[in-house]
């Protein structure tokens, strides 16, 4: 087993789609939460294999996309300081704030470094005691334990020049915000498999019950995705709304206890502004007071600012599954991956960027 | 962003969970990663790695079961004479 190729059998995926077609009697709309899944669905054409009536809509699960322009502006300010080494996952470098991006800051002389792991940024802090090293802590519950461990380790080892600019987001509050929206047409969810490796899925039972919506924990390979969709449609056709784990090789009901404990040790829940969606209560993580010495917002006295978003861009509606990328008047015209106007075009995992890359027939450049 | 890549553990070093590391083979490319969140992992185990940390151990039995279930679903389809 290599745990990749076995789950990419195109013939089997197509046959399962055919099987699904024989079981569908009514139209259903299913949202995949995770940007990684959106990317895989569009890349492998999973949505185009589905029978008429089964529609996938793409959710807000791209943390690169939903990091607010105000937070990115704060990152740009820090990265431009001569006393700072600013470390980030590579995905964030091209994401525009209200005026520019981290690559522009680097071109202008800022010390902006791409790291593979937050622990690499801790190492950079140890190697550069005369500098202040800031790591841009974005991501869902999958990533939060890794930044939590970095700051926990830095505190334990007295690495005082290491800090986090935190913009972590949580999945369930976003799901609830979408389900509560009057525009919501979602009948079922594919829950993000990798988030669930950390969180488990026990907390989803209450959501499935409250909104009478099936939630299927789903993996990322074509076969996993088709299985998740198939399991979700089967529940919908039989009137069920249960939590089902179709990614059992990686996800346990209770999640990853050491990872959850590390999150709890370092972070607490806060309100968070999402790009395209606005502020969602209790949807983010921030550092606890005892880690204030490693909190870049406090160290550098980052002031909250209001950053304007494009008035043409409909990414907010796309993130809620209320619209698809080609419906936006700016898609492929003023708004491209090189010059994104909004959240869903800024990262390759955003729905607009995925359509732009893999569905050239939808690109309407004039 | 929440991408996690499967790889197989080749060696393990360190005892303190915060220092627990392993060398993982990703299809021929080896890389040292943290095992703090998979302290029970053993050499030979497959793990999913995200941002330099193993976030879960892949359960081989479940992985095989998933493929077997799939064959069963498609087998039923074939038995019913449904189209491929």
Q: Is A1 in contact with B17 (Cβ distance < 8 A)?
A: no
| A151: containing domain | 65-171+255-299
Nearest C-alpha in A relative to B80: A19
Residue A10 in any domain: the answer is no
Contacts of A64 in chain B (CB under 8 A): 1
Contact A138, A92 (CB under 8 A): yes
How is domain B5-79 classified at the architecture level of CATH? Roll (2.30)
Residue A177 in any domain: the answer is no
ipTM entry: 0.92
Q: Is B53 in contact with A117 (Cβ distance < 8 A)?
A: yes
Q: pLDDT by residue (tens digit) across B6-62?
A: 999 999 998 787 889 999 999 999 999 999 999 999 999 999 999 999 999 999 998
Contacts of A36 in chain B (CB under 8 A): 1-3
Q: Are strands B46-50 and A243-245 parallel, antiparallel or unpaired?
A: unpaired
The pLDDT value recorded for residue A247 is: 96
Structure pTM? 0.93
| Digitized pLDDT (tens) for each residue of chain A, 366 residues in all | 777 888 888 888 999 999 999 999 999 999 999 999 999 999 999 999 999 999 999 998 888 889 988 999 999 999 999 999 999 999 899 888 888 899 999 999 999 999 999 999 999 999 999 999 999 999 999 999 999 999 999 999 999 999 999 999 999 999 999 999 888 889 999 999 999 999 999 999 999 999 999 999 999 999 999 999 999 999 999 999 999 999 999 999 999 999 999 999 999 999 999 988 889 999 999 999 999 999 999 999 998 777 777 788 898 888 888 899 999 999 999 999 888 888 889 888 899 999 999 987 776 544
| Contact status of B30 with chain A (Cβ, < 8 Å) | no
The beta-carbon neighbor of A18 closest among B56, B64, B82 is B82
Could you count the other beta carbons within 10 Å of the beta carbon of residue A36? 23
Measured in whole angstroms, the distance separating CA B77 from the mean position of its chain's CA atoms is: 30
* CATH code for the domain of A112: 3.40.50.11740
Contact A134, A124 (CB under 8 A): no
Give B82's pLDDT tier (boundaries 50, 70, 90): very low
Residue A116 in any domain: the answer is yes
Q: Is B84 in contact with A119 (Cβ distance < 8 A)?
A: no
Q: Which long-range contacts (CB under 8 A, 24 or more apart) does B74-78 make?
A: B74/A12, B74/A15, B74/A16, B74/A19, B77/A15, B77/A18, B77/A19, B77/A22
Q: CA A209, A211, A217, A223 torsion: positive or negative? A: positive
> Total domain count for chain A?
1
Q: Which of A6, A249, A260 to mutate to test the interface with B (most CBs of B within 10 A)?
A: A249
């Amino acid at each position: 087993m290599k745990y990749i190729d076995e789950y990419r059998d195109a013939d089997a995926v197509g046959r399962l789609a055919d099987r699904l077609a024989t079981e569908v009697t009514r139209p259903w709309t299913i949202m995949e939460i995770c940007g990684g899944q959106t990317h895989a669905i569009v890349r492998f054409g999973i949505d185009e294999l589905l029978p008429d009536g089964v529609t996938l809509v793409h959710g807000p699960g791209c943390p690169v996309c939903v990091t607010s322009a105000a937070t990115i502006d704060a990152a740009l300010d820090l990265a431009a300081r001569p006393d700072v080494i600013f470390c980030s996952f590579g995905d964030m470098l091209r994401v525009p704030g209200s005026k520019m991006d981290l690559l522009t800051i680097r071109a202008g002389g800022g010390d902006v470094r791409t790291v593979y792991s937050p622990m690499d940024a801790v190492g950079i802090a140890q190697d550069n005691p005369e500098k202040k090293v800031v790591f841009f802590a974005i991501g869902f519950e999958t990533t939060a334990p890794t930044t939590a461990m970095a700051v926990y380790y830095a505190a334990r080892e007295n690495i005082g020049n290491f800090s986090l600019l935190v913009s972590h987001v949580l999945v369930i509050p976003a799901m609830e915000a979408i389900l509560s929206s009057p525009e919501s047409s979602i009948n079922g969810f594919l829950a993000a498999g990798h988030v669930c490796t950390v969180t488990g899925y026990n907390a989803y039972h209450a959501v499935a019950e409250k909104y009478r919506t099936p939630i299927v924990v789903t993996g990322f390979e074509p076969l996993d995705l088709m299985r998740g969709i198939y399991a979700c449609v089967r529940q919908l056709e039989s009137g069920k709304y249960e939590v089902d784990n179709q990614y059992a090789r990686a996800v346990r009901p209770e999640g990853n206890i050491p990872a959850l404990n590390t999150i709890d040790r370092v972070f607490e829940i806060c309100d968070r502004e999402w790009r395209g969606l606005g502020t969602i209560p209790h949807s983010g993580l921030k550092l606890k007071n005892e880690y204030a010495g490693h909190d870049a917002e406090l160290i550098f006295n980052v002031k909250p600012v209001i950053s304007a978003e494009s008035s043409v861009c409909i990414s907010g509606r796309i993130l809620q599954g209320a619209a698809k990328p080609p419906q936006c008047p700016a898609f492929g015209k003023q708004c491209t991956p090189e010059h994104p106007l909004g959240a869903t075009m800024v990262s390759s995992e955003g729905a607009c960027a995925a359509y732009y890359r893999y569905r050239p027939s939808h690109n309407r450049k004039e | 962003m929440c991408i996690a890549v499967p790889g197989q553990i080749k060696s393990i070093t360190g005892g303190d969970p915060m220092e627990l590391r392993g060398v993982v083979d990703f299809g021929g490319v080896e890389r040292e990663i943290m095992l703090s969140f998979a302290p029970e992992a053993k050499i030979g185990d497959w793990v999913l790695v995200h941002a330099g940390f193993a976030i879960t151990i892949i359960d081989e039995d479940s992985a095989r079961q998933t493929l077997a279930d799939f064959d069963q679903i498609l087998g039923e389809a074939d038995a019913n004479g449904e189209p491929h």
